Amino acid sequence: MKDLPVAGKALTLLFTAAFLVACSGTDTQQQEEAAAAAAAAEAAAAQQAREAEQAAAREAAAARQAAAEERRLEQAVAAAGSTFYFDFDSSTLTTEARQALDAHIALLRTNDEEVRLEGHTDERGTRDYNMALGERRANSVRDYMVVNGIPSYRIETVSYGEEKPVAYGSGEENWSQNRRVELSRQ
Amino acid sequence: MNLSVLTDYLPEWLAPSVATFCLHLLLLFLLLSRWESSDSDRVIQARKITPEIINAKLVSIDEFRARPTPKAAPRQPAKTQPAAPRKQAAPAPSKPAPAPESKPLAKKKPAETGRSEPAPAPAKKPAPRLDADALAELSRRQLSESMAAESAAEVAVTAEEMAASYAALIQRAVIGYWSRPPSARNGMEVLLSVQLIPSGDVISVSVVKSSGNVAFDRSAINAVERAGSFPELRNLPIREFEKSFRRFRLLFRPEDLRY
Amino acid sequence: MTSLARILLFATLMVSAVSARAQLVIEITQGMDDPTTIAVVPFATEGTGISPADVAEIVADDLRRSGQFAPVRRDNMLSYPSTSGEIYFRDWRAIDTEYVLIGRVTPGERLRVDYELFDVNRERSVLSGSQTDAPGEARMLAHRVSDAVYEHITGIPGAFATRLLYVSVERNLQGKDYYRLTLSDADGARPIVLLESREPIMAPSWAPDGREIAYVSFETGRPAIFRQELRSGAREQLTSFRGLNSSPAWSPDGNTLAMVLSKDGSPDIYLMDMASRRLSRITRHYAIDTEPTWMPDGKSILFTSDRGGRPQIYRYHLQTGITDRVTFEGNYNARARIAQDGRNVVLVHQRDGQYHIAIHDLVTDRLQVLTSTDLDESPSIAPNGSMVLYATKSGDRGILSAVSVDGGVKFNLPARSGDVREPAWSPYLMP
């Protein structure tokens, strides 16, 4: 709608010019040229208005698309989960972990949110060594994110070692649940 | 002082001769008396003993001397054969024959069974009767001599073994009562002197050479005091007791501690 | 003396000397190590007051838990003497008692305990003494009597009048965890909560004077090292670096606190001078370096490092800056603690997939597993080097357990509700 004043101005000018030409008298070619010019200007103005409309529509469509994309990314992140698991005594990211992280990274690239990574281990071994192991796991996740475009100042890492298990008790079913890094968005 | 006055009145050569004579006497005494090892004490090692007396009554010396009986056994089959055909003749002469023979033998070995006595006599019976008495006398003398030699040797071996067995007994008893303090270490050593009386009771324990660790020394003394007595030693002949066990030493040197 | 007399005397002496040298010597190279039987007779109460504690029961329990003593049961005692004149040694010998401890308690504004120890075999008094303190410290008084008796008989100072720090975790009905830093007597009695938090508490550690402690708390959202004075309860946060802030360990002279920080990339050992609060870094390796502990002479520090691939114990020499490896047996050796003798190191050792407490001898380089339980961790040695306290699991619960340094005696500390972990045995404490 903001194109309208321009179109209005053009039309006003054209009609004024046409009127002046018509009122001046006897030269019909000049009248015809003026009429043609006025018609061309009118067409151009209409064209511009149409283009503006199209651009607006395109932008709206783009915005809608972006929103849809964000929803898709959020859904991907939700599907991937915020917990990444590790093998015993290892801080190497598994393929599943990397795939899950990819979803997070994709979303994080679209905003400037900060994340907190919490590293954990299972109960086996000494507590202080496990604090260091938990930090290694959190750092693994952080490093992968940094390599994939998330600046490190947006990432905070904290290790809890074996102090905050989600599964109590011994045995691999419990231990495998505790060897993890938890991501939380701030 | 008196001696110096006396020597003035005696010939010059007397004092040195007396001294020489005494020295020779001393030398003879030292050579003839029984010695164990010349320098070191008799040390009983834990590992080397195979004790024969374990919580059992000690067999008496007499039973040790009765060992020669197996030697008489081979003669017994000979005894039965001549005895059978000579049923009538045998009982008569065999009676007086064993009788004079058994007497001198009996003097030496009262606990001996009667089996060995008639054996030499009937064995000689197939031989000409003329030599029966002479032969009997010969064999008796031979037997008694060999027996005496054997028993003398056996008494010597037995006494050594017995001392070792009793030492092992004492060792085992003390081990059972020795509780080491936490500060004890392998290689620490304390040497105790122990005094017994023939009943086996401990009448004194004292430290001869300390380990330097009071608690360690005390634990050794406590072990002996808690053992208190070794009643089996009552069965030891008094000579052996006096020689080895009236006064002896215990060396505590642990080897089984963690370090 | 004339020459003749001299010769005869010499000869006599020679003979008697030689026959003396022929004495039998029996060698004793092993023992049974039966516990020493001791009768701790119930102490009599003097005066009109009531004794605030059963001193004899505390002493008997202390001695029994050490594994070196077998106290006589009260119902087996033929009499309850409280003065030397009332002791009939024959009665005690009849039940094979080696020592008798008697005593008297005098309640009042100050509580006083008199005690006397008798050797039954020698039938005489071998130790006597007296302890005085506020009535509220009656249990500590009794523990000091235990220390005196233990030291007299074994030659080693007792560690009964000491205290413990530990962390306990309890879950409330809503499923939220509560962490408590607790101080108790060495036998587990008189627990006092020093700190309660909704976030984890770790690594309690004693200063050598027994007056302050250090620990790790997550109360700020990140691990940080705190120090706390016991008497006043005053606290101070010492660190707040990014990354790890863990494993505080006081030097033997109390002037330096070793700790683990990862602010410079990987977990490394740092030393904080307590006067200036200045930090110096002593390990520079991209591997994990953690769990520092000081040797008693203060000249080197043992720590855990996986620079060789798996966790092992290493030793850093402060003067030379040289680091050498200490443990070579097995794939996992961590969390070393060293006894006052500077020789015995207790640590966590993994064998056949199980985690045990083991003891490594720095002189012989031999390692010996002490426990048969699994998932053992956090060993702490008594100040007299005789016992090791550690955390383990019983079913799904965390409990504290104790084992003697020779592996002979084992017992569990009284179970509390919730999980108990990370025990720290105090140094010898001044009354």
SS3 content of chain C, % helix, strand, coil (to 5): 15, 45, 45
Rg (C-alpha) for chain C, rounded Å, is: 27
User: What confidence score (pLDDT) does residue B256 get?
Assistant: 87
- Considering only CB atoms, C200 lies closest to which of A135, A157, A164, namely A164
Distances (CA, A) of C299 to A135, B29, C293: 30, 68, 11
Q: Measured between beta carbons, which residues in chain C are less than 8 angstroms from residue B44?
A: 24-27
Q: Does B212 touch chain C (CB under 8 A)?
A: no
d(CA C19, CA C14): 9
- CA-to-CA distance for C407 and C370, rounded, in angstroms? 5
Residues of A (27-56) whose Cβ lies below 8 Å from C? none
If DSSP codes are grouped into helix, strand and coil, which group holds residue C195? strand
- 3-class secondary structure, C242: coil
The rounded distance, in Å, linking the Cα atoms of C56 and A99 is 67
Q: Are the CB atoms for C43 and C35 separated by under 8 Å? A: no
Burial of A129 (C-beta count, 10 Å sphere; 0-12/13-18/19+): buried
Distance of CA A23 to the CA centre of its chain: 60
Using 50, 70 and 90 to split pLDDT, how confident is the model at B9?
Answer: low
Per-residue pLDDT for C104 more than 50? yes
Report yes or no: B8 at the C interface, CB cutoff 8 Å: no
Q: Is B157 left (phi over 0), alpha (psi -120 to 50) or beta?
A: alpha
pLDDT at C322 over 60: yes
Distance between CA atoms of residues C218 and C198, nearest Å: 9
Each as own residue / partner, the long-range contacts of residues C402-407 (CB below 8 Å, 24 or more positions apart, any chain) are: C402/C65, C403/C357, C403/C370, C403/C371, C404/C66, C404/C67, C405/C339, C405/C344, C405/C359, C405/C370, C405/C381, C406/B182, C406/B258, C407/C368, C407/C370, C407/C371
CB < 8 Å to C31, chain B: 175, 178-180, 223, 254, 256
Q: How far apart are CA A156 and CA A162, in angstroms?
A: 19
Chain B interface test: which of C1, C10, C27, C153 (most B C-beta within 10 Å): C27
| Crossing angle of the two packed helices A95-108 and A28-80, in degrees rounded to 10 | 140
Give the whole-angstrom CA distance, residue C243 versus residue C227. 19
In degrees, rounded to 5, the angle at the alpha carbon of residue C199 between the alpha carbons of residues C193 and C200 is: 75
What average pLDDT score do residues B10-25 get? Answer: 84
B135, B101 contact by CB (below 8 A): no
SS (H, E, C) B33-98: CCCCCCCCCCEECCCCCCCCCCCCCCCCHHHHHCCCHHHHCCHHHHHHHHHCCCCCCCHHHHCCCH
User: Model confidence over C414-423: pLDDT tens digits?
Assistant: 767 889 999 9
pLDDT > 90? residue B100: no
Per-residue model confidence (pLDDT) at position C25 = 85
Question: Chains A vs B: touching, with 3+ CB pairs under 8 Å?
Answer: no
**Is residue C138 within 8 Å of C128, Cβ to Cβ?**
no
CB distance from C217 to chain A under 8 Å? Answer: no
Instruction: Say what the pLDDT of residue B38 is.
Output: 42
Closest CA relative to residue B121, chosen from B86, B95, B156 = B95
CA distances (Å), B130 to each of A31, B134, B136, B173, C290, in order? 195, 8, 11, 63, 108
Chain C partners within 8 Å of B180 (Cβ): 31, 33
Strands in B164-259 per DSSP E: 190-196, 202-209, 247-252
Q: Is C163-425 assigned to CATH 3.40.50.300?
A: no
Q: Which amino acid is at B102?
A: S
CA dihedral sign, ordered A91, A94, A100, A103:
positive
For residue B120, pLDDT over 50 is answered with no
Question: What tens digit of pLDDT does each residue of C334-384 get?
Answer: 999 999 999 999 999 999 999 999 999 999 999 999 998 999 999 999 999
Report the DSSP beta bridge partners of residue C333.
C349
Q: Which of residues 101-160 of A touch C (CB under 8 A)?
A: 123-129, 131-133, 135-136, 157-160
Q: Does residue C36 belong to the interface with chain B, where contact is any CB pair within 8 Å? A: yes
C103-110: average pLDDT: 95
State yes or no: pLDDT of B252 exceeds 70. yes
Give ipTM to 2 decimals: 0.89
In angstroms, the CA B215 to CA B224 distance is: 15
Give the distance from residue C242's alpha carbon to the nearest chain A alpha carbon, in angstroms: 8
Residue with tokens 């627990």: C191
Instruction: Say if the Cβ atoms of C32 and B176 lie within 8 Å.
Output: yes
Highest mean pLDDT among A50-64, B17-31, C90-104, C246-260: C246-260
Rounded Cα gap, residues B92 and A35, in angstroms: 187
Whether C351 contacts C393, CB under 8 Å: no
**CA distances for C7 relative to B17, C10, C15, C155, angstroms:** 13, 5, 12, 50
Task: Mark C344-383 as b/e (b = at least 16 C-beta within 10 Å).
Answer: bbbbbbbeeeebbbbbbebeeeebeebbebebbbbbbbbb
**CA-CA distance, C89 to C75, in Å (whole number)?**
18
Q: Which pLDDT score is estimated for B31?
A: 80
- Among residues C272, C286, C327, C330, which one has the least CA distance to residue C304? C327
Between vectors from CA C323 to CA C317 and to CA C327, what angle results, nearest 5°? 110
Q: Give percent above pLDDT 90 in chain C.
A: 81
| pLDDT above 90 as % of chain B | 28
- Cβ neighbours, 10 Å, residue B161: 16
Residue whose C-alpha is closest to residue A118's, from A43, A40, A178, A73: A178
- In this model, does residue C6 exceed pLDDT 80? no
Question: Among candidates B114, B153, B149, B121, which has minimal Cα distance to B137?
Answer: B121
Q: What is the DSSP string of C389-413?
A: EEEEEETTEEEEEEEETTS--EEEP
CA angle C176, C182, C185 (to 5 degrees): 150
Tokens 């008297």 belong to C104
Considering CB atoms only, which of A129, A168, A170 is closest to C304?
Answer: A129
pLDDT of residue B134: 72
Q: Which residue of B has its CA nearest to C364?
A: B259
State phi, psi for C348 to the nearest 5 degrees.
Answer: -95, 130
Mean pLDDT for chain B overall: 69
Beta bridge partners of residue C302, listed in sequence order: C293, C315
Give me Rg for the CA atoms of chain A: 32
Nearest-Cα distance to chain C for A163, in Å, is: 7
Query: Which residues are bridge partners to A183 per DSSP?
Result: A117
Compute the distance between CA of residue B130 and CA of residue B132 in angstroms, rounded to an integer.
6
Residues paired with C235 in a beta bridge? C228
Element (H, E) at A74: helix A28-80
User: Do C35-154 and C163-425 come out as alike in CATH topology?
Assistant: no
Which of A32-41, C51-60, C333-342 has the weakest average pLDDT? A32-41
Out of C24, C31, C386, whose CB is closest to B180? C31
List, for residues C188-211, the tens digit of each pLDDT value: 899 999 999 999 999 999 999 999
Question: What pLDDT is stored for residue B102 in this prediction?
Answer: 39
CB A182 within 8 A of CB A80: no
CB contact under 8 A, A125 and C348: yes
Q: Encoding tokens for residue C352?
A: 């056949």
Architecture of the CATH domain C35-154: 3-Layer(aba) Sandwich (3.40)
Binary contact (C32, B175; C-beta < 8 A): yes
Inter-chain contacts counted by CB atoms under 8 A, chains B and C: 140
> Cβ of C311 and A129 within 8 Å?
yes
Q: At CA C398, angle to CA C397 and CA C404, rounded to 5?
A: 130
Minimum distance, in Å, between the CA of residue C221 and any CA atom of chain A:
9
pLDDT of residue C116: 97
Using the predicted structure, report yes or no on whether residue B230 has a pLDDT greater than 80: yes
By C-alpha distance, the chain C residue nearest A171 is C396
Cross-strand partners of B251 = B191, C27
Q: Is chain A touching chain C, with at least 3 CB–CB pairs below 8 Å?
A: yes
Enumerate the residues of chain C whose CB falls inside 8 A of the CB of residue B176: 32
Q: Do C378 and A127 touch (CB under 8 A)?
A: yes
For the ranges A20-34, A46-60, C61-75, C372-386, the lowest mean pLDDT is seen at A20-34
* Three-state secondary structure call for residue C42: coil
Structure tokens at C356: 């045990």
CB C332 within 8 A of CB C347: no
Q: Where are the domains of chain C?
A: 35-154, 163-425
